[in-house]
Amino acid sequence: MNGEKLIFCNRCLYSNYHPLGIILDDEGVCSGCRIHEEKDSLDWDYRLRLLEKIIEDYRLKASDNYDCIVPVTGAQDSYFTMHVVKNILNLNPLMVSYNKYFNTPLGIRNLANLRLKFDSDLLIQNINPNSVLRITRTALRELGSLYWPILAGQSVFPVQIAVKKKIPLIIWGAHQGIEQVGMFSHESEVEMTRRYRKDHDLMGVEADDLLSLFDSVKEEDIWQYRYPENDKLSEVGVRGIYLSNYIRWDPLKQHREMVETYSYEGAQFNRTFDTYDFTDCYNYMGLHDLLKLHKHGFSKVTDHACREIRHGRISRGAACELVKKYELNPPQNLDLFCDYLGVPEASLHYMIDFHRNSRFWQPDDLGGDANFAGMSLLRSNSIISDSDGLADKDRQELAAANYVKGTLERNQQRGYVTFGKGWP
């Protein structure tokens, strides 16, 4: 391990090397766990009334436009966000979605079902696939991210539409920085900003930076990823609020409700136990998650395990066991991405190995390959020994969570759905 000593939170599984930034207090508890404690102390009825007061200024009296914009995908918190917007706040939203081109049949089905169940209009952005491919290739090589264009598109398209259609209010679901690392208090009521998008979603790289970084990317490739100018935002009065500041956020509980009420569907993954997040993409829980492990020393199963610890559904020891079970599993669907890039799988592995972080990966003296040191370090800081397994209580909690057993294909042909109308 290089640099500052790796220290883990005494309550969850995050360390002081979290890429969003995390603070450990004198008791060894991280800022994410401390801010999570607010969920059990805040008056959420009062906070909902605050939200209702905010949206009253945006509720239209006439029917010639929409009250707000809601960014959606075929997964994550889209269903719950729409449930709140339509059925609790009684707003007329325009749903907007960025086409990532790595779509699963299940994700297309969930997106189509979302539109039908909530009886709302949906606008989808389809950027030139050749431009997306060029950006993906160079972002993977230079940034170690195949998701840069997706994160850029998902975070800017709603803002562009807000300006174009003069719909000032954008309603997002959860603020990742608050949920994971306690970047702000819920009571701070932070809103979506250009700076947060650049620093955290886009790894400090704006669309125009690509022109200087990557000589294969041209002006005609990147212009649709530009954030609107401040004068345009001010003219319309665009603001983006996060529901998680006003509603007690619990993704597992919310997903179970959406499955039961609106027929949302999930699928199993081999790199995490959660079956509800990111079912719309072949690559998020595959290669993208592996790159996260290479660069930051943890992957999505750690996010899911930390979430479950904080909500009191599993113990820290059980969370460690879950991470141990899933984190080093090989990513699925690499062949699809290799076909998309037009490279053999060996070349892909050669490329992504450049992005291993020496803080977490150590060379194998025998074979020359990099070995992951993060889990052994985590377990040495843990409350469990190597022989410990899931306790009966934790097995019961995981079983009670009703994780689904579907597939990304949903009985359709395996492969990226670049354009799709959905399956019932």
Yes or no: say if 363 and 369 are a contact pair by the CB < 8 Å rule. Answer: yes
- Report which residue type is found at 236: V
Alpha carbons 317 and 202: distance in angstroms, whole number: 33
Alpha carbons 261 and 117: distance in angstroms, whole number: 10
Q: List Cα–Cα distances, 355 to 30, 279, 291, 349, 375, in angstroms.
A: 27, 25, 7, 10, 18
Predicted confidence (pLDDT) at residue 284 exceeds the cutoff of 60: yes
Nearest in space to 27 (alpha carbons), one of 6, 42, 7, 50:
7
Which H or E run contains 371? Answer: strand 370-372
Predicted confidence (pLDDT) at residue 400 exceeds the cutoff of 80: no
Alpha carbons 288 and 144: distance in angstroms, whole number: 9
pLDDT tens sequence across 131-181: 999 999 989 988 999 999 999 999 999 999 999 999 999 999 999 999 999
Q: List Cα–Cα distances, 29 to 14, 22, 207, 326, 388, in angstroms.
A: 10, 10, 37, 25, 23
pLDDT tens sequence across 192-233: 999 989 998 898 999 888 887 666 888 999 999 999 999 999
Say which residue the tokens 């089905």 belong to.
109
- State the pTM of this model: 0.92
Yes or no: say if 287 and 346 are a contact pair by the CB < 8 Å rule. Answer: no
Residues sharing a CB contact under 8 Å with residue 231, sequence separation 6 or more, in sequence order: none
pLDDT at 45: 98
pLDDT at 387: 36
pLDDT tens sequence across 66-94: 999 999 998 999 999 999 999 999 999 99
Token duo for residue 421: 């109308």
Q: Enter the DSSP assignment of 355.
A: G
Helix (H, G, I), strand (E, B) or coil at 241: strand
pLDDT mean over 397-422: 80
C-alpha dihedral (63, 69, 71, 77), degrees to nearest 10? -80
Chain center to CA of 403: 19
The domains found in the chain, sorted by start residue, are 42-245 (3.40.50), 268-400 (no CATH)
pLDDT tens sequence across 361-395: 876 543 445 666 655 555 455 444 333 456 666 66
Say which residue the tokens 């709302």 belong to.
120
Q: List Cα–Cα distances, 128 to 68, 125, 146, 220, 224, in angstroms.
A: 27, 10, 16, 10, 10
Alpha carbons 240 and 369: distance in angstroms, whole number: 45
pLDDT at 1: 44
Predicted confidence (pLDDT) at residue 287 exceeds the cutoff of 60: yes
